[in-house]
Structure 1
Amino acid sequence: MSWNLPNILTLLRIGMIPVMALMFLLPYPWSNVIAAAIFGLAAVTDWLDGYLARLWHQTSPFGAFLDPVADKLIVAVALIAVLTANPSAALAFPVAVIIGREIAVSALREWMAELGLRASVAVGWLGKLKTTAQMVAILLLLYAGPVWVVSAFTVGFWLLYVAAGLTIYSMVLYLLAAWRAVDSQGEST
Protein backbone atom coordinates (compact mmCIF):
# COMPACT_ATOMS: atom_id res chain seq x y z
CA MET A 1 0.00 0.00 0.00
CA SER A 2 1.18 3.49 -0.81
CA TRP A 3 1.08 5.86 2.18
CA ASN A 4 0.32 9.09 0.37
CA LEU A 5 -2.10 11.88 1.27
CA PRO A 6 -4.89 10.73 -1.10
CA ASN A 7 -4.88 7.22 0.42
CA ILE A 8 -4.69 8.62 3.95
CA LEU A 9 -7.74 10.83 3.22
CA THR A 10 -9.62 7.76 1.99
CA LEU A 11 -8.72 5.82 5.15
CA LEU A 12 -9.80 8.80 7.27
CA ARG A 13 -13.12 8.84 5.40
CA ILE A 14 -13.65 5.20 6.35
CA GLY A 15 -12.81 6.07 9.95
CA MET A 16 -15.47 8.79 9.89
CA ILE A 17 -18.24 6.30 9.10
CA PRO A 18 -18.90 4.87 12.58
CA VAL A 19 -18.44 8.31 14.16
CA MET A 20 -21.01 9.80 11.77
CA ALA A 21 -23.51 7.01 12.45
CA LEU A 22 -23.03 7.24 16.21
CA MET A 23 -23.43 11.02 16.22
CA PHE A 24 -26.59 10.80 14.12
CA LEU A 25 -28.20 8.21 16.37
CA LEU A 26 -27.39 9.97 19.66
CA PRO A 27 -30.48 11.55 21.29
CA TYR A 28 -29.09 15.09 21.50
CA PRO A 29 -30.38 18.15 19.64
CA TRP A 30 -26.90 18.84 18.19
CA SER A 31 -26.19 15.29 17.02
CA ASN A 32 -27.77 15.76 13.56
CA VAL A 33 -25.64 18.83 12.90
CA ILE A 34 -22.44 16.97 13.87
CA ALA A 35 -23.40 13.92 11.77
CA ALA A 36 -24.17 16.12 8.75
CA ALA A 37 -20.88 17.99 9.21
CA ILE A 38 -18.94 14.71 9.35
CA PHE A 39 -20.74 13.47 6.24
CA GLY A 40 -20.05 16.78 4.48
CA LEU A 41 -16.37 16.57 5.42
CA ALA A 42 -16.26 12.99 4.13
CA ALA A 43 -17.82 14.12 0.84
CA VAL A 44 -15.18 16.84 0.49
CA THR A 45 -12.37 14.36 1.20
CA ASP A 46 -13.87 12.08 -1.46
CA TRP A 47 -13.46 14.81 -4.04
CA LEU A 48 -10.11 15.96 -2.63
CA ASP A 49 -8.38 12.57 -2.52
CA GLY A 50 -9.16 11.89 -6.17
CA TYR A 51 -8.14 15.39 -7.20
CA LEU A 52 -4.83 15.20 -5.32
CA ALA A 53 -4.06 11.69 -6.55
CA ARG A 54 -4.42 12.85 -10.17
CA LEU A 55 -2.67 16.19 -9.60
CA TRP A 56 0.33 14.67 -7.83
CA HIS A 57 0.37 11.49 -9.95
CA GLN A 58 -0.19 9.40 -6.83
CA THR A 59 -2.88 7.12 -8.16
CA SER A 60 -2.43 3.56 -6.99
CA PRO A 61 -4.22 0.23 -7.32
CA PHE A 62 -4.92 0.36 -3.57
CA GLY A 63 -6.46 3.84 -3.86
CA ALA A 64 -8.47 2.84 -6.93
CA PHE A 65 -9.87 -0.09 -4.94
CA LEU A 66 -10.42 1.66 -1.61
CA ASP A 67 -11.95 4.97 -2.77
CA PRO A 68 -15.19 3.51 -4.20
CA VAL A 69 -15.46 1.12 -1.24
CA ALA A 70 -15.28 4.09 1.16
CA ASP A 71 -17.93 5.93 -0.87
CA LYS A 72 -20.33 3.01 -0.88
CA LEU A 73 -19.82 2.33 2.83
CA ILE A 74 -20.52 5.87 3.99
CA VAL A 75 -23.56 6.20 1.71
CA ALA A 76 -25.01 2.86 2.86
CA VAL A 77 -24.39 3.53 6.56
CA ALA A 78 -25.81 7.06 6.35
CA LEU A 79 -28.93 5.88 4.49
CA ILE A 80 -29.49 3.04 6.96
CA ALA A 81 -29.05 5.44 9.90
CA VAL A 82 -31.56 7.89 8.40
CA LEU A 83 -34.01 5.06 7.73
CA THR A 84 -33.54 3.73 11.28
CA ALA A 85 -34.41 7.13 12.70
CA ASN A 86 -37.29 7.67 10.24
CA PRO A 87 -38.77 4.26 9.40
CA SER A 88 -41.26 4.45 6.55
CA ALA A 89 -41.91 2.62 3.31
CA ALA A 90 -41.61 5.91 1.43
CA LEU A 91 -38.03 6.34 2.66
CA ALA A 92 -37.14 2.63 2.50
CA PHE A 93 -37.82 2.49 -1.24
CA PRO A 94 -35.13 4.95 -2.44
CA VAL A 95 -32.73 3.63 0.22
CA ALA A 96 -33.17 0.07 -1.10
CA VAL A 97 -32.81 1.23 -4.71
CA ILE A 98 -29.60 3.14 -4.02
CA ILE A 99 -27.93 0.47 -1.88
CA GLY A 100 -29.07 -2.31 -4.23
CA ARG A 101 -27.70 -0.48 -7.24
CA GLU A 102 -24.35 0.12 -5.55
CA ILE A 103 -24.00 -3.60 -4.84
CA ALA A 104 -25.12 -4.60 -8.34
CA VAL A 105 -22.86 -2.12 -10.15
CA SER A 106 -19.88 -3.05 -7.95
CA ALA A 107 -20.40 -6.70 -8.85
CA LEU A 108 -20.79 -5.76 -12.52
CA ARG A 109 -17.55 -3.77 -12.49
CA GLU A 110 -15.70 -6.63 -10.83
CA TRP A 111 -17.01 -9.11 -13.40
CA MET A 112 -16.14 -6.77 -16.28
CA ALA A 113 -12.63 -6.34 -14.84
CA GLU A 114 -12.21 -10.13 -14.81
CA LEU A 115 -13.15 -10.12 -18.48
CA GLY A 116 -10.69 -7.31 -19.20
CA LEU A 117 -13.56 -4.96 -20.04
CA ARG A 118 -13.58 -2.67 -17.00
CA ALA A 119 -13.30 0.47 -19.17
CA SER A 120 -16.67 -0.33 -20.73
CA VAL A 121 -18.38 0.42 -17.39
CA ALA A 122 -16.36 3.47 -16.37
CA VAL A 123 -18.03 6.26 -14.40
CA GLY A 124 -19.47 8.94 -16.67
CA TRP A 125 -21.06 12.34 -16.15
CA LEU A 126 -24.42 10.76 -15.22
CA GLY A 127 -22.75 8.82 -12.42
CA LYS A 128 -21.22 12.04 -11.13
CA LEU A 129 -24.62 13.79 -11.26
CA LYS A 130 -26.21 10.85 -9.43
CA THR A 131 -23.49 10.96 -6.78
CA THR A 132 -23.91 14.71 -6.29
CA ALA A 133 -27.70 14.44 -5.90
CA GLN A 134 -27.25 11.51 -3.53
CA MET A 135 -24.64 13.23 -1.37
CA VAL A 136 -26.64 16.47 -1.06
CA ALA A 137 -29.81 14.48 -0.29
CA ILE A 138 -28.06 12.48 2.44
CA LEU A 139 -26.49 15.62 3.90
CA LEU A 140 -29.94 17.24 4.13
CA LEU A 141 -31.52 14.08 5.57
CA LEU A 142 -28.83 13.84 8.23
CA TYR A 143 -29.18 17.51 9.15
CA ALA A 144 -32.99 17.37 9.09
CA GLY A 145 -33.35 20.86 10.55
CA PRO A 146 -34.83 23.96 9.01
CA VAL A 147 -33.08 25.77 6.17
CA TRP A 148 -34.65 29.20 5.88
CA VAL A 149 -38.35 28.37 5.73
CA VAL A 150 -38.17 24.78 4.48
CA SER A 151 -37.33 21.51 6.15
CA ALA A 152 -33.96 20.11 5.10
CA PHE A 153 -35.42 16.65 5.63
CA THR A 154 -38.26 17.28 3.18
CA VAL A 155 -35.92 18.67 0.51
CA GLY A 156 -33.49 15.79 1.15
CA PHE A 157 -36.33 13.26 0.90
CA TRP A 158 -37.39 14.47 -2.54
CA LEU A 159 -33.81 14.85 -3.71
CA LEU A 160 -33.22 11.24 -2.62
CA TYR A 161 -35.99 10.23 -5.03
CA VAL A 162 -34.25 12.20 -7.78
CA ALA A 163 -31.02 10.39 -6.89
CA ALA A 164 -32.85 7.03 -6.92
CA GLY A 165 -34.22 7.80 -10.39
CA LEU A 166 -30.76 8.72 -11.63
CA THR A 167 -29.46 5.59 -9.91
CA ILE A 168 -31.83 3.33 -11.84
CA TYR A 169 -31.15 5.11 -15.13
CA SER A 170 -27.37 4.97 -14.70
CA MET A 171 -27.56 1.29 -13.73
CA VAL A 172 -29.48 0.53 -16.91
CA LEU A 173 -26.79 2.38 -18.90
CA TYR A 174 -24.04 0.37 -17.16
CA LEU A 175 -25.87 -2.90 -17.85
CA LEU A 176 -26.36 -2.02 -21.52
CA ALA A 177 -22.71 -1.01 -21.89
CA ALA A 178 -21.62 -4.26 -20.27
CA TRP A 179 -23.97 -6.26 -22.46
CA ARG A 180 -22.60 -4.62 -25.63
CA ALA A 181 -18.98 -5.12 -24.51
CA VAL A 182 -19.50 -8.79 -23.67
CA ASP A 183 -21.51 -9.33 -26.85
CA SER A 184 -18.85 -7.70 -29.05
CA GLN A 185 -16.11 -9.69 -27.31
CA GLY A 186 -18.06 -12.89 -28.05
CA GLU A 187 -18.33 -11.94 -31.71
CA SER A 188 -14.58 -11.28 -32.01
CA THR A 189 -13.57 -14.74 -30.70
Structure 2
Amino acid sequence: MWTIPNILTLLRILLIPVFVLIFYLPFEGARVLSAAVFALASVTDWLDGYLARRWQQVSPFGAFLDPVADKLMVAAALLLLVEAEPSPALALPAAIIVGREITISALREWMAEIGARAQVAVSMIGKFKTAVQMVAILLLIIKQPLWEIPVFTVGFVLLYVSAILTLWSMVVYLRAAWPSLSGQSVVEVLPREE
Protein backbone atom coordinates (compact mmCIF):
# COMPACT_ATOMS: atom_id res chain seq x y z
CA MET A 1 0.00 0.00 0.00
CA TRP A 2 2.83 2.44 0.79
CA THR A 3 4.20 2.70 -2.71
CA ILE A 4 5.55 5.97 -4.10
CA PRO A 5 2.50 6.42 -6.40
CA ASN A 6 0.12 6.00 -3.44
CA ILE A 7 2.20 8.36 -1.30
CA LEU A 8 2.00 10.96 -4.09
CA THR A 9 -1.78 10.55 -4.18
CA LEU A 10 -1.98 11.00 -0.40
CA LEU A 11 0.28 14.05 -0.70
CA ARG A 12 -2.24 15.55 -3.14
CA ILE A 13 -4.97 15.18 -0.52
CA LEU A 14 -2.73 16.67 2.18
CA LEU A 15 -2.02 19.65 -0.08
CA ILE A 16 -5.72 20.63 -0.12
CA PRO A 17 -5.77 22.38 3.29
CA VAL A 18 -2.38 23.95 2.52
CA PHE A 19 -3.79 25.26 -0.77
CA VAL A 20 -6.87 26.68 0.97
CA LEU A 21 -4.89 28.38 3.74
CA ILE A 22 -2.41 29.95 1.33
CA PHE A 23 -5.25 31.18 -0.91
CA TYR A 24 -6.57 33.29 1.98
CA LEU A 25 -3.25 34.64 3.24
CA PRO A 26 -3.33 38.45 3.37
CA PHE A 27 -0.35 39.26 1.18
CA GLU A 28 0.08 40.16 -2.46
CA GLY A 29 1.66 36.91 -3.65
CA ALA A 30 -0.83 34.59 -1.95
CA ARG A 31 -2.74 33.78 -5.16
CA VAL A 32 0.46 32.96 -7.06
CA LEU A 33 1.72 30.80 -4.18
CA SER A 34 -1.61 28.96 -3.93
CA ALA A 35 -1.48 28.48 -7.72
CA ALA A 36 1.96 26.90 -7.28
CA VAL A 37 0.53 24.46 -4.71
CA PHE A 38 -2.33 23.64 -7.10
CA ALA A 39 0.18 23.12 -9.92
CA LEU A 40 2.23 20.80 -7.70
CA ALA A 41 -0.91 18.78 -6.93
CA SER A 42 -1.73 18.62 -10.65
CA VAL A 43 1.76 17.31 -11.44
CA THR A 44 1.44 14.61 -8.77
CA ASP A 45 -1.85 13.60 -10.43
CA TRP A 46 0.01 12.80 -13.64
CA LEU A 47 3.13 11.45 -11.91
CA ASP A 48 1.44 8.95 -9.58
CA GLY A 49 -0.39 7.26 -12.47
CA TYR A 50 2.71 7.25 -14.66
CA LEU A 51 4.90 5.73 -11.92
CA ALA A 52 2.27 3.17 -10.92
CA ARG A 53 2.07 1.89 -14.50
CA ARG A 54 5.81 2.09 -15.16
CA TRP A 55 6.81 0.35 -11.94
CA GLN A 56 3.83 -2.05 -12.08
CA GLN A 57 2.55 -0.75 -8.75
CA VAL A 58 -1.09 -0.30 -9.74
CA SER A 59 -3.16 -1.23 -6.69
CA PRO A 60 -6.84 -1.29 -5.71
CA PHE A 61 -6.10 1.34 -3.05
CA GLY A 62 -4.45 3.63 -5.59
CA ALA A 63 -7.21 3.05 -8.16
CA PHE A 64 -9.76 4.11 -5.52
CA LEU A 65 -7.83 7.01 -4.00
CA ASP A 66 -6.49 8.69 -7.17
CA PRO A 67 -9.85 9.88 -8.58
CA VAL A 68 -11.00 10.86 -5.08
CA ALA A 69 -7.91 13.05 -4.62
CA ASP A 70 -8.47 14.67 -8.01
CA LYS A 71 -12.11 15.46 -7.35
CA LEU A 72 -11.39 16.84 -3.86
CA MET A 73 -8.70 19.21 -5.14
CA VAL A 74 -10.80 20.41 -8.10
CA ALA A 75 -13.92 20.88 -5.95
CA ALA A 76 -11.97 22.81 -3.31
CA ALA A 77 -10.40 25.06 -5.95
CA LEU A 78 -13.74 25.75 -7.64
CA LEU A 79 -15.38 26.58 -4.31
CA LEU A 80 -12.60 29.05 -3.48
CA LEU A 81 -12.79 30.67 -6.90
CA VAL A 82 -16.58 31.10 -6.83
CA GLU A 83 -16.38 32.51 -3.30
CA ALA A 84 -13.59 34.92 -4.32
CA GLU A 85 -15.30 35.99 -7.58
CA PRO A 86 -19.03 35.49 -6.96
CA SER A 87 -20.88 35.63 -10.26
CA PRO A 88 -23.34 33.40 -12.11
CA ALA A 89 -20.89 33.26 -15.04
CA LEU A 90 -18.27 31.55 -12.86
CA ALA A 91 -20.68 29.56 -10.72
CA LEU A 92 -22.34 27.90 -13.74
CA PRO A 93 -19.31 25.99 -15.11
CA ALA A 94 -18.21 25.21 -11.54
CA ALA A 95 -21.64 23.71 -10.80
CA ILE A 96 -21.54 21.71 -14.04
CA ILE A 97 -18.13 20.27 -13.22
CA VAL A 98 -18.98 19.38 -9.61
CA GLY A 99 -22.45 18.12 -10.58
CA ARG A 100 -20.98 15.83 -13.22
CA GLU A 101 -18.56 14.34 -10.69
CA ILE A 102 -21.41 13.61 -8.27
CA THR A 103 -23.50 12.08 -11.06
CA ILE A 104 -20.71 9.82 -12.30
CA SER A 105 -19.79 8.77 -8.74
CA ALA A 106 -23.43 7.81 -8.12
CA LEU A 107 -23.53 5.94 -11.44
CA ARG A 108 -20.40 3.97 -10.59
CA GLU A 109 -21.81 3.07 -7.17
CA TRP A 110 -25.09 1.92 -8.68
CA MET A 111 -23.34 -0.10 -11.38
CA ALA A 112 -21.29 -1.85 -8.68
CA GLU A 113 -24.46 -2.63 -6.72
CA ILE A 114 -26.10 -4.35 -9.68
CA GLY A 115 -22.95 -6.36 -10.33
CA ALA A 116 -21.83 -4.65 -13.52
CA ARG A 117 -18.10 -4.84 -14.06
CA ALA A 118 -16.60 -1.38 -14.51
CA GLN A 119 -13.14 -1.85 -15.96
CA VAL A 120 -10.89 1.20 -16.01
CA ALA A 121 -10.34 2.35 -19.60
CA VAL A 122 -8.70 5.74 -19.93
CA SER A 123 -10.40 7.82 -22.59
CA MET A 124 -8.71 10.57 -24.59
CA ILE A 125 -11.59 12.97 -23.95
CA GLY A 126 -11.12 12.39 -20.22
CA LYS A 127 -7.41 13.16 -20.37
CA PHE A 128 -8.01 16.28 -22.46
CA LYS A 129 -10.84 17.45 -20.18
CA THR A 130 -8.64 17.04 -17.12
CA ALA A 131 -5.75 18.94 -18.70
CA VAL A 132 -7.98 21.84 -19.79
CA GLN A 133 -9.68 21.91 -16.39
CA MET A 134 -6.39 22.05 -14.48
CA VAL A 135 -4.97 24.83 -16.69
CA ALA A 136 -8.23 26.81 -16.42
CA ILE A 137 -8.29 26.58 -12.62
CA LEU A 138 -4.59 27.42 -12.39
CA LEU A 139 -5.05 30.58 -14.48
CA LEU A 140 -8.15 31.60 -12.52
CA ILE A 141 -6.23 31.23 -9.26
CA ILE A 142 -3.34 33.37 -10.53
CA LYS A 143 -5.86 36.00 -11.73
CA GLN A 144 -3.33 38.78 -12.44
CA PRO A 145 -2.15 39.39 -16.02
CA LEU A 146 1.27 37.98 -16.89
CA TRP A 147 3.34 39.58 -19.65
CA GLU A 148 0.28 41.38 -21.00
CA ILE A 149 -1.67 38.08 -21.15
CA PRO A 150 -5.17 38.40 -19.61
CA VAL A 151 -4.73 35.32 -17.43
CA PHE A 152 -8.14 35.45 -15.76
CA THR A 153 -9.98 35.82 -19.08
CA VAL A 154 -8.09 32.92 -20.65
CA GLY A 155 -8.79 30.79 -17.57
CA PHE A 156 -12.46 31.78 -17.69
CA VAL A 157 -12.79 30.71 -21.35
CA LEU A 158 -10.94 27.46 -20.67
CA LEU A 159 -13.25 26.75 -17.72
CA TYR A 160 -16.20 26.88 -20.12
CA VAL A 161 -14.36 24.60 -22.55
CA SER A 162 -13.74 22.27 -19.62
CA ALA A 163 -17.43 22.37 -18.65
CA ILE A 164 -18.43 21.42 -22.21
CA LEU A 165 -15.91 18.55 -22.23
CA THR A 166 -17.21 17.53 -18.80
CA LEU A 167 -20.75 17.26 -20.14
CA TRP A 168 -19.50 15.38 -23.19
CA SER A 169 -17.65 12.83 -21.06
CA MET A 170 -20.73 12.45 -18.85
CA VAL A 171 -22.82 11.66 -21.92
CA VAL A 172 -20.23 9.01 -22.91
CA TYR A 173 -20.59 7.42 -19.46
CA LEU A 174 -24.38 7.53 -19.50
CA ARG A 175 -24.54 6.08 -23.02
CA ALA A 176 -22.26 3.23 -21.94
CA ALA A 177 -24.44 2.60 -18.89
CA TRP A 178 -27.78 3.08 -20.66
CA PRO A 179 -28.43 -0.64 -21.32
CA SER A 180 -28.18 -1.28 -17.57
CA LEU A 181 -30.08 1.88 -16.63
CA SER A 182 -32.91 0.93 -18.97
CA GLY A 183 -32.88 -2.72 -17.87
CA GLN A 184 -31.71 -4.03 -21.26
CA SER A 185 -28.36 -5.58 -20.28
CA VAL A 186 -25.29 -5.28 -18.07
CA VAL A 187 -22.49 -2.92 -19.12
CA GLU A 188 -19.01 -4.41 -19.13
CA VAL A 189 -16.80 -1.35 -19.59
CA LEU A 190 -17.14 2.28 -18.49
CA PRO A 191 -14.45 4.74 -19.56
CA ARG A 192 -12.64 6.75 -16.91
CA GLU A 193 -10.46 9.78 -17.27
CA GLU A 194 -7.14 10.11 -15.49
TM range (shorter): over 0.9
Correspondence for 2:33: 34
Q: What's the offset of the Cα at 1:122?
A: 3.9
Q: Which residue of 1 aligns with 2:186?
A: 185
Given that 1:43 and 1:135 are in contact with CA atoms closer than 8 Å, whether structure 2 keeps it comes out as yes
CA 1:48–1:66: 2 relative to 1, 3 Å: same
Equivalent pairs: percent with the same residue? 62
Q: State the shift of 1:181 in Å.
A: 5.2
Deviations 1:53-112 (A, max 9, x none): 111111111111000000000000001001111000100000000001011111212222
Structure 2 residues not aligned, in runs of 5+: 188-194
- Give ranges in structure 1 of 5+ residues lacking alignment: none
For 1:174, the aligned partner's letter is Y
The whole-number CA distance in structure 1 between the counterparts of 2:179 and 2:24 is 44
More divergent stretch after superposition (106-115 vs 21-30): 106-115
* Contact preservation (8 Å) 2:116, 2:186: no
Kept in 2: contact 1:25–1:81 (CA 8 A): no
Give CA-to-partner distance per residue, 1:16-36, whole Å, 9 cap, x none.
001111111222111011110
Quote the Cα distance in structure 1 between the aligned partners of 2:140 and 2:26. Answer: 16
Please show how residues 38-187 of structure 1 align to structure 2 within 5 Å: 38-114=37-113, 115-119=115-119, 122-180=121-179, 183-185=184-186
CA distance in 2, matches of 1:111, 1:102: 14
Letter in structure 1 aligned against 2:29: W
Letter in 2 for 1:156: G
Residues 146-188 of structure 1: CA distance to partner in whole angstroms, max 9, x if unpaired? Answer: 12212211110110000001111110111011113553339xx
Distance between the aligned counterparts of 1:122 and 1:105, measured in 2?
15
State the TM-score, normalized to the length of structure 2.
0.90
Residues of 1 paired with 2:173 and 2:81: CA distance? 28
What SS is found at the alignment partner of 2:162?
A: helix
Aligned with 1:184: secondary structure? coil
Query: What is the root-mean-square deviation of aligned Cα atoms in Å?
Result: 1.5
Q: Runs of 4+ in structure 1 displaced over 3 angstroms?
A: none
Aligned length: 184
